[in-house]
Structure 1
Amino acid sequence: MVLESRLTTVFLPIVYIIVFVVGLPTNALAIWVFLFRTKKKNPSSIFMANLALCDLLFVVWIPLKIAYHLNGNNWIYGEGLCKVLVAFFYANMYCSIAFITCISLQRYWAIVYPLSKRRRGNATSVGVSVAIWLAVWVLTTPLYLYDQTVELSNMKVVTCHDVTMPDQRTMAAGYFLTMGLLGFFVPTVVCMVAYVQMLKVLCSSMTDEAIARQRRKAVALIVIVLVMYLVCFGPSNVALLVHYSLLLAQRTNNGYGFYVVSLCFASLNSCVDPFVYYFISEDFREHVRNTLHLPQPADGGAPARVVHRAQVQEEHHHHLHLLGQQAEQ
């Protein structure tokens, strides 16, 4: 019923079209800014560049998924491309979660310990990024080891990752249950702890109104990013655990429609991330405005580089002026 419904043949392709139309240019612009416009690299910009690359590598494959759903959930591109599409889908999800966790930890360190010296930070960030890419691609190799396409003779379609054969049930369930627990819930706990600690520091009593105003903006941003993270990845991973637990127990999943919709909404993260970069990074905002020839915002008549001089000297324009404000405190 789900495969024949308008939910999968109309609604899902509409969402994926939005993800593709928004995510392709914004992530390409983000990568260009991080690689060629940002002269002074810092750990956060390195992690955000990797996150943008991760999103872009996923977005370029979305047209195949759009065509699949518009074609009545009938896959006509062969087993190999189906495996590639599925692998890139889950690689994007867990790679994004990993890099968001790294950005959260970097922001935590910068806010809670703003005056600490972090030598060789860029080298460490590059090493961590390489390790994440290797780990994610190794962990997605099991998806290539069993068939992702299944022919349904009663519907006269070939599905891609929508039906699991009985003899592959144990392998598929074991894999996704492990990835859901280790790839989502463990990083989520780390992010939650980091954000709680940051909020404690930022919500501490301040007598300087200017610093308090900056901190309120930072608190709002932290809450928004955390909510977006949970909304994009929470339902999909919870539904994934429920679905494969029922599959392993050989029980029918009456909520399969919610499961496929939640996975679709998880892909929205790919077109949301560039807007998060824009609000997190002062450098990113400035370069985007210059690239698109947008007017500079009014800031009381003082150039942004002068207003945030302490931030430039202490923390290389890092995270919404917080580091410079901490240094002044």
Structure 2
Amino acid sequence: MDNNSTHIKPSEATLFVLPIIYIFLCILGLFGNILSQWVFLRKIARKTSTHMYLINLVTANLLVCSAMPFMSAYFKEGSTWIYSSAKCKVVNFLGTLFMHVSMFVSLITLSCIAISRYATLMKKDLTQEETASFYEKIFYGRILKKFCQPNFAKKLCSFIWGAVLVTIIPITIYYSAVELYEENEKMCYSEVAECGTGFSGTARLVGIAFIGFCFLVVFLSYYSFVSYLRKIRKNTSITKKYSTYCLVKRHLLVIQCLLVVCFLPYSIFMPIFYALTKKNDSQQLGYLVEIKNFLICLAAARSSTDPIIFLLLDKTFKKTLCNLFRKTNSPQESS
């Protein structure tokens, strides 16, 4: 690979727009997620399994927000840094590690929330129905039931972090210390750094397939619940439970929309990206890299907007946060 093919010249959008977006998302995300974590840990005494998953999601959000200054610096100055410089290696390694770890922890956690919301009602209804099959009673009453238990959710979240870290850290080390070094890259912002090669390129494709799997889990949870809701409407009266069913349906729909808006464009584009980058066209490659980076930024933006989504996913969080703002505003109103 010659030097001309490996050096990519970033556009004005990459040099100025992306750094500004990342800094804005960082400030917004740190404020919202720190406040959310404080509410979950300090103000909610009785924590459900959903709270455990949301605490885990906020932790992943804080990690990605801490990576945003590195990403901003990389896009702003990376094209002028020599790869062997310390700042390039630190920004490249930490930015890549934090972004990917938080992304996959968030995806798995969102999938667990969808499963737990789906299981909450299914285990209550199917285990009580006389017509429920043995398979339904075992699957919904025993297996999925665990996703609704706070202790299990806490252990599962710890396992998620351990599994993701054990998987991502070696890949990131190999990518930063071996692949880029073997390619003799001169500039920090380059084709190999942006596209990957060999092992890391394959790992990224596996990661994209995993995003699709998480989306499939959420979609199947939503589809199964809607199908079940239609089924029981024909057989029984659910007027008393209708509001609860609609709430769970909304939760599943919110999670599905998050994945569709933030992660689906990235997962659809990346196979196209790798197919087109095989062509030795530096101008086209530059455009493809910039599209990829903006789609990654879109995925990262979910971490900054999650505190707003929490208002839709958890009534206790919404009620606690509203009470806090009322107490804050009440002295000013009385004065």
Q: Please give the range of the TM-score, normalised by the shorter of the 2 chains.
A: 0.7 to 0.9
Aligned to 1:199: 226
Counterparts in 2 of 1:179-328, with a 5 A limit?
179-181=207-209, 183-202=210-229, 205=233, 211-212=241-242, 215-216=245-246, 218-247=248-277, 249=278, 252=281, 253=285, 255-293=288-326
Question: Are the equivalent residues in 2 in contact too, given 1:19–1:59 (CA < 8 A)?
Answer: yes
- Which structure is higher in RCO with an 8 Å CA cutoff and minimum separation 6? 2
When the two structures are superposed, what TM-score results if normalisation uses the length of structure 1?
0.76
Question: Are the equivalent residues in 2 in contact too, given 1:233–1:266 (CA < 8 A)?
Answer: yes
Aligned length: 289
* Counterpart secondary structure, 1:146: helix
Aligned to 1:88: 98
Extract unaligned runs of 5+ from structure 1.
Answer: 297-329
Q: Give the Å deviation of 1:14.
A: 2.8
Q: Give the Å deviation of 1:99.
A: 0.3
Q: Equivalents in 2 of 1:261, 1:271: separation in Å?
A: 15
Decide which moves more: 217-226 or 98-107.
217-226
Aligned to 2:133: none
Counterparts in 2 of 1:153-192, with a 5 A limit?
158-159=188-189, 162-164=190-192, 169-181=197-209, 183-192=210-219
1:107 to 1:262, Cα distance in 2 relative to 1, 3 A: same
For the aligned residue pairs, the C-alpha RMSD in angstroms reads 3.2
1:184-222 CA distances to partner (integer Å, 9 max, x unpaired)?
A: 122221111111112234456386767545644554453
Decide which moves more: 287-296 or 231-240.
287-296
When the two structures are superposed, what TM-score results if normalisation uses the length of structure 2?
0.75
1:134-161 CA distances to partner (integer Å, 9 max, x unpaired)?
A: 11111112111133778876xxx532xx
Aligned to 2:117: 107
Q: Equivalents in 2 of 1:185, 1:105: separation in Å?
A: 16
Structure with a larger share of its residues in helix: 2
* Counterpart secondary structure, 2:10: coil
Q: Equivalents in 2 of 1:101, 1:211: separation in Å?
A: 24
1:4 to 1:218, Cα distance in 2 relative to 1, 3 A: same
The one-letter code matched in structure 1 to 2:49 is: P
Q: Equivalents in 2 of 1:51, 1:18: separation in Å?
A: 20
Q: Equivalents in 2 of 1:45, 1:78: separation in Å?
A: 38
Identity in percent: 19
Q: Give the Å deviation of 1:113.
A: 2.4
Q: Give the Å deviation of 1:268.
A: 0.9
Aligned to 1:313: none
Q: Give the Å deviation of 1:258.
A: 1.8
Aligned to 1:45: 51
Q: Equivalents in 2 of 1:223, 1:123: separation in Å?
A: 26
Q: Give the Å deviation of 1:72.
A: 6.4
Aligned to 1:140: 168
1:284-307 CA distances to partner (integer Å, 9 max, x unpaired)?
A: 0111122333699xxxxxxxxxxx
Q: Equivalents in 1 of 2:112, 2:213: separation in Å?
A: 13
The one-letter code matched in structure 2 to 1:51 is: L
Question: Are the equivalent residues in 2 in contact too, given 1:23–1:59 (CA < 8 A)?
Answer: yes
Q: Give the Å deviation of 1:90.
A: 1.0
Question: Are the equivalent residues in 1 in contact too, given 2:74–2:91 (CA < 8 A)?
Answer: no
Q: Equivalents in 2 of 1:265, 1:56: separation in Å?
A: 16
Q: Equivalents in 2 of 1:267, 1:84: separation in Å?
A: 15
1:255 to 1:25, Cα distance in 2 relative to 1, 3 A: same
Q: Equivalents in 2 of 1:140, 1:29: separation in Å?
A: 28
117, 126, 149: which one pairs with 1:121? Answer: 149
